[in-house]
Amino acid sequence: MAMRVGELRQRMSRPLRSPALLAAADRMLLRRRSRPADGVPHHVVLAPAGGGNIGDQALVEAFIENVSGNVTVICRRPGDYVLPDDARIRMLPLLSLVYGDLVGHLRDLGAFRRVLRTATSFSVVGADVMDGGYGHRASTNRANLARRVAELGIDARILGFSWNASPHPQALAAVRDAARHGVTTVVRDPRSAARARADGIDPIVDGADIVFLARSVDDAAASEWADRVASPLALVNLSGLVPSDGDLEPYVRVVEVLRSRGLGVLLVPHVSRPGADDLPLCGAVADNFADDADVVLVDRLLSPAAIRGLAERARITVTGRMHLAVMSLMRGVPAVTVATQGKVEGLMDLVGTPGLCVSTDEIADSLARVAGDTADRADELSAAISGRLAAVSELARRNLDGLAAARRTVTSR
């Protein structure tokens, strides 16, 4: 009965969730505002879903690390992000600004309007949430908000995003309109750029994922886990989003192949939340190696800084999550990556290693083989990747043109 009532409420509220209706409210209620009286930059960033996703956390942290001035992070719920203890950073949970119906959206617009009064920039973390692949309403709402903010004369941008080959029509129309009305649209790989241009999104800035700009490293947390297995180290992630049909054999073979090369294996979850939980799959594979002391399950989500510390110690990564690949590649570590949503192939083009992609329908036949070949050629591949990183970093910095702070290395020991 409770489920039927919930379904009924969803159907009744559907007209009130129309992105066009929410955009009309934005046009009526979001007006011009004053600039900061003290002249200190104030950057407002609309975060992705977060809440148990290391990649989302890494994106927000990278933005904070690389801009000067004050930062307001708009998220869904208070527990979705762990932000630095820094007086210049504020979290503003507004669940319905992107995800709600008209009633909730109107309520959250009041708080959003107040924070825009002193904003010098508004950035949407684009990542993989702009083309409608994970829900067209939220994608459309993000683009519409950026467009309205740009119309108010505030620097508005969509940071490094992927664009798949079949975007939802509403999401496409919204991003296209945002670009035409002054929103800076930064794509994060050449394949996405080509698709976006073919779809009429103009202008486009060719960029890269902003996590390539992240600098913090937690050596202590990384050592805590890396020291539990023999070196050299391999990081293996099994994504709860990648279909496995209950068959662990392809993943077990990956670990076996890496162990046959003398690598210690850490099974590393990257997302742990309902509907997309890596932990059960990683744990099930770990159970197959209960008698092998050099196969260890990381039994909780680590911070992005700890993941980067592990990547510095790794010889190879095998992953179903793109941002574990990014945080490995930025350390010159070859990352065999399961390709989903059309976003991984372009990443590998950037670093010159297209052979590191494995499509979901090739997991059973190819994943272990590619992992073994990559382990055998790790030094050669690492040199090739490292030779591309300076250019990739320059592309990533295009996300923050005009916002960036002076760079410094941040290491936690």
- C-beta atoms surrounding 85 within 10 Å: 6
pLDDT (0 to 100) of residue 59: 98
User: Closest Cα to residue 138, out of 48, 230, 34?
Assistant: 48
Question: 217-390 adopts what CATH topology?
Answer: Rossmann fold (3.40.50)
In the predicted structure, residue 270 carries a pLDDT above the cut 80: yes
Q: Given pLDDT bands bounded at 50, 70 and 90, which one contains residue 272?
A: very high
As a whole number of angstroms, the distance between CA 138 and CA 148 comes to: 15
Q: Over range 307-320, report the average pLDDT.
A: 98
Contact in structure between 94 and 111 (CB atoms under 8 Å): yes
Mean pLDDT over each residue of the chain, to the nearest integer: 93
Q: What's the pLDDT at 313?
A: 98
Burial (0-12, 13-18, 19+ Cβ within 10 Å), 87: exposed
Look at residue 75 in the predicted model and tell me its pLDDT. Answer: 98
Render pLDDT for 197-248 as a digit per residue (tens, 0 to 9).
Answer: 999 999 999 999 999 999 999 999 999 999 999 999 999 999 988 765 668 9
Residue matched to tokens 């809440």: 51
What end-to-end distance do the CA atoms of the chain give, in Å? Answer: 54
Per the CB < 8 A criterion, the answer to whether 144 and 26 are in contact is: yes
Domain 217-390 in the same topology as domain 2-207: yes
Whole-angstrom Cα distance, residue 338 to residue 317?
11
Q: What is the pLDDT of residue 413?
A: 36
Residue 55, pLDDT > 50, answer yes
Class of the CATH-defined domain 2-207: alpha beta
Q: How far is CA 268 from the centre of its chain?
A: 17
Domains of the chain by residue range: 2-207, 217-390
- pLDDT score for 408: 43
Give percent of the chain with pLDDT exceeding 90: 87
- Whether residue 409 is predicted with pLDDT greater than 50 in this model: the reply is no
Query: Which of 314, 346, 355 has its CA nearest to residue 331?
Result: 314
Instruction: State which amino acid sits at residue 369.
Output: R
What kind and span of H or E run contains 159? Answer: strand 155-161
User: What pLDDT, in 10s, does the model give residues 119-160?
Assistant: 999 999 999 999 999 999 999 999 999 999 999 999 999 999
**DSSP H helices in 67-226:** 95-99, 102-116, 136-151, 169-180, 190-198, 219-226
Q: What is the pLDDT of residue 11?
A: 62
410 pLDDT band, cuts 50/70/90, is very low
Has residue 352 got a pLDDT over 60?
Answer: yes
Mean pLDDT of 63-85: 96
pLDDT in the model for residue 65: 96
Cβ contacts of residue 387 below 8 Å, gap of 6+?
352
